[in-house]
Amino acid sequence: MSADIIHIGSRGSQLALWQTEWVKERLAAAHPTVRFEVTVIKTTGDRILDRPLNKIGDKGLFTKEIDNALLRGDIDLAVHSLKDLPTTLPEGLTIAAITERWDVRDALISRAGATLKALPRGAVVATGSLRRKAQLLHHRPDLRIVDLRGNLNTRFRKFQESDWEGMILATAGVERLGWQDRIAERISTDIILPAVGQGSFAVVCREGDEQIQALVQPVHHRPSALAGYAERALLRTLEGGCHVPIGAHARVEGGQFVGTACIGSLDGRRLVRESLSREFTPEFDRSAAEGLGVELARRLLDAGGEEILAEIRQVEER
């Protein structure tokens, strides 16, 4: 790292560049004497668009190439969607900051603005997420779910060219690109819990790089970070990823730190959902948040989640 230029790694999609610029602008405002430059890096997940995510593995699909650039010293920090970040980072890397969370809900994009309840029986709905598919089918077992990959621009184009009645996307991503008028419904978390980390950005740097870790603190948001740590601990305990329909939502609510999570079967017929809360005090830290995530994961397993996960792994092995 040169004394006055900080190199930020990012994927090249419109949404990825938007979130990187968001972080860059705030860091530049906090450090007016420092120059920040963005380096675009293409990842495996960006290149392989003809297969579902769960069919091409889930270890660093959208981060590995950026991680390698960081470890080589080609860049000084990287900005990711927290939901794309593996729950265990490569040795030598650490999360330096987690940004304030946007709307965690998933959004329904539909013809003529039809809500989820108003979609006709047997309607075709597109999503690339097993988590969304399982929860959607649990709520509306009559729906037909088709796979959807690509960046947001590609997904909207595919939707326009298709005969699908709807598609499900992350509300935060749609709103960040200014397309909120295309949202027919922001789906309640009572129906679909979000992905782990959905709605926040993570700033990653090299372990031991105290200068960068201090530099990025202006974008760090404690409640959102604690929520992210809790959800990631839950996912790590369940050994989940793109292969497993797991939803989670930790948040501060009425003086309590609350975690809610679910595990669903691939067909959506079975869904286990649990909640857990602790008093949110000034002393409530990362260790406490992660402890709640681990305990919530164990509750899910005891409530039937272990059986669901075993069945999913059997399907994967066939």
Local structure of 208: helix, strand or coil: coil
| Dist. CA 24–CA 74, nearest whole Å | 17
The question of whether 74 is a catalytic residue gets the answer: no
Alpha carbon 155 to chain centroid, angstroms: 17
Identified catalytic residue from 67, 74, 76, 84: 84
Residues in the chain: 318
Angle, helix 286-300 to helix 222-238, in steps of 10 degrees = 40
Q: Which residues contact 311 (CB under 8 A, 6 or more apart)?
A: 265
Q: How many CB atoms lie within 10 A of CB 119?
A: 21
Q: Which residues contact 250 (CB under 8 A, 6 or more apart)?
A: 226, 227, 228, 230, 231, 257, 258, 259, 260, 289, 292, 293
Residue carrying structure tokens 């981060």: 63
Local structure of 121: helix, strand or coil: coil
Q: DSSP states of 218-260 as a string? A: GG--HHHHHHHHHHHHHHHHHT-STTS-EEEEEEEETTEEEEE
CA–CA–CA angle 101, 226, 204 (5° rounding):
75
- Closest by CA to 156, choosing from 145, 175, 169, is 169
Dihedral pair phi/psi, residue 81, rounded to 5°: -70, 130
Instruction: Point out the residues that are catalytic.
Output: 84
